[in-house]
Structure 1
Amino acid sequence: MEHKGIINYINGPVIKASNMQDFRLREMVAVGEKKLIGEVISIDGDVGTVQVYEETAGLKIGEYIYSTGKPLSVKLGPGIIGNIFDGIERPLNYIYNSTGKFISEGIGLVSIDMNKKWDVKFIVKEGEYLSSGQPFVYVEETPLVRHYIMVPPKIKGRVIYAAKDGEYTLDDVILKLEDDKIHELKLYQEWPVRIPRPVKERKPIEKPLITGQRVIDTFFPIAKGGTSAIPGGFGTGKTMTQHQLAKWSDADVIVYIGCGERGNEMTEVLEDFPKLIDPNSKLPLMNRTILIANTSNMPVAAREASIYTGITIAEYFRDMGYNVAIMADSTSRWAEALREISGRLEEMPAEEGYPAYLASRLAEFYERAGYVETLGGKEASVTIIGAVSPAGGDFSEPVTQNTKRFVSVFLSLDKMLAYSRHYPAINWLSSYSGYLSILDGWYKRNVADDFLTLRGEMLKILQEENKLQEIVKLVGEDVLPDEQRLILEVARIIKIGFLQQNAYHKEDTYVPLNKQYQMLRMIKLFYQNAANAVKKGIPIGKIRQTEVYNDLLKMKYSIPNDYKDHFIDLENKILSSFQQILNAYEGD
């Protein structure tokens, strides 16, 4: 029997109704004559409160709320990769073709195309025993992603029927399992967005997410299965940094959530991403990307749901054995949606009007990252990279402070660096990574024994330079001894020649780790020789005028990523250059 509630209160996306005693908490419901999609968020006696994920204009008191008997869920199956969804997994292309440029209310919970036929290949036979998470067929969804259809969690049994290889729609029954009852399996499964998908075991984090961005890979590495936040004020390059990570990171699948961003920013993403080429395969980047677009003019409740939709899709591809990176841009807009809904619910506000449960919601989201062994026995990961947009660039506000508690990498964007055109505008003094000691072994095995030691030495130079700049501002550089002026010059090489990176330069937009290490090694070699020269009385001006000084500033452009003997040549040039300076000085 279908349960019906009767609407008696409407406040934007928040609806209250009587006769709701037979509904369940977190149940998905259809609201009003237009059957708007909603979710039950509280029940008090026979009065229930529902948040609606669509525009509620025109809704009237006395209309009915209809039960669906299931929680807010997403369909998981072929057709997700390369698609562009709204916050509750409705495809925007389908909506545009159906209703035009704006999302009309009442179009229902449309999702991936149920009528499209997919070429299915079986990897199991009748008589085999399958447990939860085991794949039984696959679909070549794109040239970059083989989509495995898995036995849903909590289902297992012996195969009593398996269809043959061929073309099937998502709704066709292609496999039957029998244990205590018969389970009919299709090409898709549904999963509640607020419940994490199960895994066999959470494993220790051991590998970095290689991004090709020097300031991240070398100074503040992100781990596969780890968590990272990119906070920054307006114009500091949060979106651009996330675009670079989405394009170049060595994740198998990218989920990009535009959560409450301005429409023109999301338009840029939607126009640019389909044109981008994956650097490894030379195929379109959309072949391994899912976009979730929920702009600031879309219903606020759907913005709150978009984060959960994105992370559930990410976990689904993780369960196939893929390393997934999820970009959330931005969690501040999501927190603002929480605040607005909380206000309409008349809940007691906490700091700056945010609900008291802000911290726990952020923790729930970031806890869904991890490096795991899946139910199917594969190692895979979900890495979360969340942008934070503090009002006025104030990092002391609640969203930034609470996010800082739950992430291990904090990439602090600096407006002064951005205004001086230094990109990525990541401040090397206020950023940090908690994965350095964990990843030390990986760097030693795959790059060099002294990689992180070298990184520490360069960071120390930058910290010393920061202290010296305070003196320079007061009394000028000329009063400093040459040893300290050398620190300023070497720090300039590190900042301009290493940390600053040009996203539009073919050699500089992505830099392999080995080249990053060699660049730092050259800077250290220059510093050691220059310090020795300064000790022997050679003025800093002569060192600054050497050709190798400019070579170090330009090596990011002049030395190709597939370098052969270029760094050996540069090393020899540094050594001979300083030898010439010393010979000339001793000759005088």
Structure 2
Amino acid sequence: MSEAGRIYGINGPVIYVKGDIGFKMSEMVYVGPEKLVGEVISLDKNAATVQVFEDTTGIRPGDRAEASGHPLSVSLAPGILHNIFDGIERPLEQIAAQSGKYISRGTQVDSLDYQKRWETQITVSAGDQIKPGDVIARVPETAAITHRCMVPPGVQGVVEKTVCDGNYTIDEPLVTVRQENGDLKELPMMQQWPIRVPRPVSLRYPASRPLITGQRILDTMFPIAKGGTACIPGGFGTGKTMTQHQIAKWSDADIIIYIGCGERGNEMTQVLEEFSKLVDPKNGNPLMDRTVLIANTSNMPVAAREASIYTGLTLAEYYRDMGYDVAIMADSTSRWAEALRELSGRLEEMPAEEGFPAYLASRLSAFYERAGMMKNLNGTEGSVSIIGAVSPQGGDFSEPVTQNTKRFVRCFWGLDKSLAYSRHFPAIHWLTSYSEYLKDLAPWYEEHVSVEFVDHRNRIMALLNQESSLMEIVKLIGSDVLPDDQKLILEIARVIRLGFLQQNAFHKDDTCVSMEKQFEMMDVILYLYEKAKLLISMNMPMSVLKEDTVFESVISMKYDVPNDRMEMFDEYRKAVDDFYRKVIEKNG
């Protein structure tokens, strides 16, 4: 240990250290006789403030605090995937084997398995010029993901020698490099990276490709781009976690990082149990083969909850650097903000709105800013998409975390408790939600789905807005006084809500829907609207139109049309034509 000081004050997870300490800002320190892990968050001439990521019960003034010599970092190597970590990348399964169901204070476990030997294919040769980000070896980490071991940032030169293809541990040297200053450096599979420092990239791309989730209200109405940011605010029981589960299972991201930040223990247990049983629909392997879970429940130390967000981000950026598309599910950023508030209170900082620290907005912006579609140092393209759940007290979207989050995300999926209580899922309300990515993604939709896709989406949205305006009148004087063209708008809006926006996660064809099917469903609904509008213009009353079963038939097409039978939508258009003809013949 390089430097040490003596503890002179303790305030929950915050301790104060005095002496000729020689600590550095953001340095990791070991506190007390049990060597609890902490991080320097404030420095004075002869004093330091340290936040401790474990329970400080039993720590006394006079105990030592020792510097580690490096910032709070995570280990990056094969073995991250299919693992469950706490907020500072300690594997919970190893902790459970060592200390039982509860994490013992001062538990010392390696983040990754240093004994396991990985089948390794070396991709460079002696004499090759290498630079940061270049792939030096490939390791089949899981059945779904190949791990690309890279040259760490700050290292470049000429390869002096390499090992042969074979089985190696994560800390065995694979490649020896002669750097530009003449020094030799050995490169193993493993890197260390400080969690609060973004990993370097060559270029940030603008949003151009959607993150396809298979959820109609997201993909069609309020899409998120790959490398984009979204928040899901909602009160208790509105479906934040389940929406994130659906995205994690069905989105076209290569890797999922699920951060359970400050959630209840029983809810996190449910996540852990469910994810371990899920089968990846893409390849039939366990979903955990491309998933990392970071579990930091509400009864764990509050400082570790604050760090867990950055731990997950750093793991995501590492896989992005390999050329993968990574999606982060942060559940929930409100609990993270509450951890900031508690630590700020312990530090006796001046509180801002609702007791949150004045730097809440800057912390949120720094978190979401690390998302993006990037050109990596090795020339590959990768992305980190961040989807953060927000848990406003009482479902009040005017509280500081929701309002500040809205400033930094471009996609807002507002959950509504009245929809959730009426069993309409996903309970994302189409009038409070928005996506700023729609214009950026329009060229992609035109090229890969249909030139009419965005126009159809806008027409659907306009009908829903018209329904909302008409419902104000209906609440006052009832629907009977409305003219038939407005009654038709209400009926078509009902078809849209039940047949398109509402989605059944337990139905094999409806749980995940292709973009092509989403477009065809919109096209049939709008075709029905146009034909019915023509009939209304011929003075056909709405009561006559509703005698036909075509409206209910269009609602049920989401179940009746398999995902691989797009030609069946022609039958629905034919049924609409038959409906049009029958009404004219009967009432002409």
TM-score by length of 1: 0.99
Identity %: 56
Match of 1:200 among 178, 202, 205: 202
Q: Deviations over 1:146-189 (max 9, x none)?
A: 00000001111111010011111111111111121111111100
How many angstroms does 1:131 deviate by? Answer: 0.6
How many angstroms does 1:21 deviate by? Answer: 4.3
CA RMSD of aligned residues (A): 0.8
Partners of 1:36 and 1:108 within 8 A in 2? no
With over 3 angstroms needed to count, the CA separation of the structure-2 counterparts of 1:244 and 1:220, relative to structure 1, is: same
Question: CA–CA distance in 1 between the matches of 2:37 and 2:65?
Answer: 10
What residue in structure 2 maps to residue 174 of structure 1? 174
What residue in structure 1 maps to residue 373 of structure 2? 371
Q: How does 1:117-516 map to 2 (within 5 A)?
A: 117-179=117-179, 180=181, 181-516=183-518
Match of 1:578 among 576, 580, 585: 580
What residue in structure 2 maps to residue 49 of structure 1? 49
Counterpart code for 2:43: I
Partners of 1:20 and 1:48 within 8 A in 2? no
Q: Deviations over 1:427-483 (max 9, x none)?
A: 100100000110000000000001011100010000010011111111111111111
Question: CA–CA distance in 2 between the matches of 1:562 and 1:498?
Answer: 18
Q: Deviations over 1:540-580 (max 9, x none)?
A: 12212212211111001001111142001111111121111
Partners of 2:414 and 2:432 within 8 A in 1? yes
With over 3 angstroms needed to count, the CA separation of the structure-2 counterparts of 1:488 and 1:191, relative to structure 1, is: same
Counterpart code for 2:279: I
How many angstroms does 1:535 deviate by? Answer: 1.2
Question: CA–CA distance in 1 between the matches of 2:567 and 2:468?
Answer: 35
Question: CA–CA distance in 1 between the matches of 2:157 and 2:105?
Answer: 42
Question: CA–CA distance in 2 between the matches of 1:259 and 1:186?
Answer: 32
How many angstroms does 1:20 deviate by? Answer: 4.9
Question: CA–CA distance in 2 between the matches of 1:126 and 1:201?
Answer: 29
Q: Deviations over 1:328-347 (max 9, x none)?
A: 00000000000000000001
Q: Deviations over 1:91-138 (max 9, x none)?
A: 000000000000001113630111111111111111111110000101
The farther-off stretch of 479-488 and 564-573 is 564-573
Partners of 1:21 and 1:45 within 8 A in 2? no
Counterpart code for 1:314: A
Secondary structure at 2:517's aligned position in 1? helix
How many angstroms does 1:351 deviate by? Answer: 0.5
Question: CA–CA distance in 1 between the matches of 2:156 and 2:4?
Answer: 35
Counterpart code for 1:431: S
Q: Deviations over 1:403-427 (max 9, x none)?
A: 0000000000001111111000001
Q: How does 1:523-542 map to 2 (within 5 A)?
A: 523-542=525-544
Partners of 1:21 and 1:43 within 8 A in 2? no
Q: Deviations over 1:252-303 (max 9, x none)?
A: 0000000000001100100000111111111110111000000000010000
Question: CA–CA distance in 2 between the matches of 1:126 and 1:583?
Answer: 83
Question: CA–CA distance in 1 between the matches of 2:309 and 2:155?
Answer: 27
Question: CA–CA distance in 2 between the matches of 1:129 and 1:205?
Answer: 33
Question: CA–CA distance in 1 between the matches of 2:2 and 2:486?
Answer: 79
Question: CA–CA distance in 1 between the matches of 2:385 and 2:20?
Answer: 39
Question: CA–CA distance in 2 between the matches of 1:441 and 1:244?
Answer: 26
Secondary structure at 1:514's aligned position in 2? helix
Counterpart code for 1:149: C
The farther-off stretch of 562-571 and 312-321 is 562-571
Counterpart code for 1:14: V
Question: CA–CA distance in 2 between the matches of 1:327 and 1:564?
Answer: 32
Secondary structure at 1:477's aligned position in 2? coil
Question: CA–CA distance in 2 between the matches of 1:520 and 1:435?
Answer: 20
With over 3 angstroms needed to count, the CA separation of the structure-2 counterparts of 1:124 and 1:27, relative to structure 1, is: same
The farther-off stretch of 6-15 and 537-546 is 537-546
Counterpart code for 2:75: K
Question: CA–CA distance in 1 between the matches of 2:131 and 2:228?
Answer: 28
How many angstroms does 1:502 deviate by? Answer: 0.6
Partners of 2:125 and 2:159 within 8 A in 1? yes
What residue in structure 2 maps to residue 91 of structure 1? 91
Find out whether 1:6 has 2:45 as its counterpart: no
Question: CA–CA distance in 2 between the matches of 1:26 and 1:222?
Answer: 34
What residue in structure 2 maps to residue 554 of structure 1? 556
Partners of 1:543 and 1:549 within 8 A in 2? no
The farther-off stretch of 133-142 and 176-185 is 176-185
Question: CA–CA distance in 1 between the matches of 2:76 and 2:354?
Answer: 37
What residue in structure 2 maps to residue 24 of structure 1? 24
Secondary structure at 2:96's aligned position in 1? helix
How many angstroms does 1:2 deviate by? Answer: 2.6
Question: CA–CA distance in 2 between the matches of 1:299 and 1:113?
Answer: 25
Question: CA–CA distance in 2 between the matches of 1:396 and 1:525?
Answer: 39
Question: CA–CA distance in 1 between the matches of 2:496 and 2:75?
Answer: 48
Q: Deviations over 1:358-390 (max 9, x none)?
A: 000000000000011000100110000000000
Counterpart code for 2:154: K
Runs of 4+ in 1 over 3 A off after TM superposition: none
Q: Deviations over 1:477-514 (max 9, x none)?
A: 11111110100000000000000001111111000000
Partners of 1:75 and 1:111 within 8 A in 2? yes
Query: What residue ranges of structure 2 are gaps of 5+ in the alignment?
Result: none
Counterpart code for 1:420: S
Question: CA–CA distance in 2 between the matches of 1:564 and 1:39?
Answer: 56
Partners of 2:3 and 2:21 within 8 A in 1? no
Partners of 2:95 and 2:109 within 8 A in 1? no
Q: Deviations over 1:181-231 (max 9, x none)?
A: 111111100000000000011112110000000000000000000100000
With over 3 angstroms needed to count, the CA separation of the structure-2 counterparts of 1:109 and 1:25, relative to structure 1, is: farther
Counterpart code for 2:116: K
Partners of 2:260 and 2:294 within 8 A in 1? yes
Question: CA–CA distance in 1 between the matches of 2:22 and 2:142?
Answer: 44
TM-score by length of 2: 0.99
Secondary structure at 1:75's aligned position in 2? strand
The farther-off stretch of 180-189 and 106-115 is 106-115
Question: CA–CA distance in 2 between the matches of 1:8 and 1:393?
Answer: 42
The farther-off stretch of 309-318 and 529-538 is 529-538
Question: CA–CA distance in 1 between the matches of 2:549 and 2:490?
Answer: 18
How many angstroms does 1:19 deviate by? Answer: 1.1
Secondary structure at 2:556's aligned position in 1? helix
Secondary structure at 2:9's aligned position in 1? strand
Question: CA–CA distance in 1 between the matches of 2:337 and 2:382?
Answer: 29
Question: CA–CA distance in 1 between the matches of 2:411 and 2:128?
Answer: 44
